[in-house]
Each structure stands twice: as C-alpha cells, then as structure tokens.
Amino acid sequence: MSGAAATEKVRVIVGEDHPLFRDGLVRALTSSGVVDVVAEADDGVAALALIKTHLPHVALLDYRMPGMDGAKVAAAVRRDDLPTRVLLLSAHDESAIVFRALEDGAAGFLSKESTKTEIVKGVLDCAKGRDVVSAGLAAGLAGEIRRRGETKAPVLTAREREVLDFIAQGHSVPAIAAELYLAPPSPSACRRFCACR
C-alpha cells in the first residue's frame, strides 16, 4: 500500500454533496474494518483543502461537486504533487468524461451504480497504487481511447506529406523543390538529405 504499512487502515476523505449518499459511502467504508474515513466534504474546494491538511491515501470524490468538480481536484492534487490518489464516483458514464478525468490525474473512476463491495475494493486497490475503472465503464473507455487515436492530429503537415510522397516516388530534391515552387536547396542540404540526380 502506498504510504501505509500493510496493517495500517487506509485513510480516506469522502467528498460528496448529497448528504444521504455521502453517509452511505462513509458507512460502507468504515464498516469494512480496513478503511478510516478521516474527513468529509460537500464541495470540491473543501475536499481539496482537506486533502492538503490530512494527506489521506485516497480521496473518494463525486465527479460533479459544487465549487470544483472531482476532476479539477484530481488535477490540483497532481499539480501540487500530493501523495493522495483521487478515485472518482459518478452517475455519468460517458466515456469522454471518464477519459478526461483520468487524463487530468484521477487514479480511477467508478460508477455510482457500483456495489458497496466494489467501492471498498476500488478504494483499497487505489491505495495500493492500482488504477481503478468500473467494469461497466472499461469498454466505453477502451472505445474512447481508440477513437482518440484515430482522430489524433497527423504528425506531418500536408506539405511534409507531399514532400515525403515525392521522395517515395524517387524524385530528386531539386525536382521536388521545382514541383512545389520551393527555393532550390543548397548543395549541402542535398548531400545531407538524399543523393541528388
């Protein structure tokens, strides 16, 4: 467990703006016998302040909270290099939201549909340094990663691709320059980049 002895309870802060749901989370975690909820917050600003004060192993936060959402808290924790790992809970399962939250610095993302057992296990796994994503969210996340890979901006500009195509067709550097209306390259550039014909 990161920052805790194997027998030490996992110290957790719970951030959730709905009191009944927050109470349920606290009860579920404390009744596990292996988690110590050190503080509770009902908004993101308070949650971040409590993280800085208590430096818990895990901050279990609602994704949507007043003041500062859970993803912004995760980004601030990463920015300030705090040892706490942020595990987000949300009723929203849009893969783009999950992707952005993990990209911002969250260590995991669980659905609010998760069972008590799944939430406790998620917190413990998170405290051990593992990344946590609900099984129901994982497939959508994989699809989101694939989509983003396919739509990623090309590494080469359009002009660079044109030049590369001409080189692949066997054109010399002076011929490419003439074709694309570029200034003729210097002899040293020709020697550097390809054998001119």
For 150-197, the pLDDT digits (tens) are 655 555 566 656 665 666 666 665 665 566 655 554 555 455 444 444
Pairwise CA distance, residues 64 & 57, whole Å: 21
pLDDT for the residue 132: 85
In the chain, helix, strand, coil percent, each to 5?
50, 15, 35
Q: What percent of the chain is predicted at pLDDT more than 90?
A: 49
Q: How many CB atoms lie within 10 A of CB 150?
A: 7
- Separation of CA 166 from chain center: 40
Classify 33 in phi/psi space as left (phi over 0), alpha (psi -120 to 50) or beta.
left
Select from 87, 114, 85, 84 the least CA-distant residue to 98. Answer: 87
Q: Do residues 26 and 2 touch, judged by C-beta distance below 8 A?
A: no
pLDDT for the residue 66: 92
> pLDDT tens digits, residue range 37-67?
999 999 999 999 999 999 999 999 999 999 9
Order of all β-strands in the sheet with 108-111: 35-41, 10-15, 58-62, 85-90, 108-111, 132-133
Select from 85, 33, 83 the least CA-distant residue to 60. Answer: 85
In the predicted structure, residue 131 carries a pLDDT above the cut 90: no
Dihedral (CA of 117, 123, 127, 130) sign: positive
Q: What percent of the chain is predicted at pLDDT more than 70?
A: 65
Q: Do residues 13 and 73 touch, judged by C-beta distance below 8 A?
A: no
The more confidently predicted of residues 132 and 83 is: 83
Q: Do residues 101 and 77 touch, judged by C-beta distance below 8 A?
A: no
pLDDT for the residue 98: 81
The more confidently predicted of residues 195 and 27 is: 27
N-term to C-term CA, the chain: 64
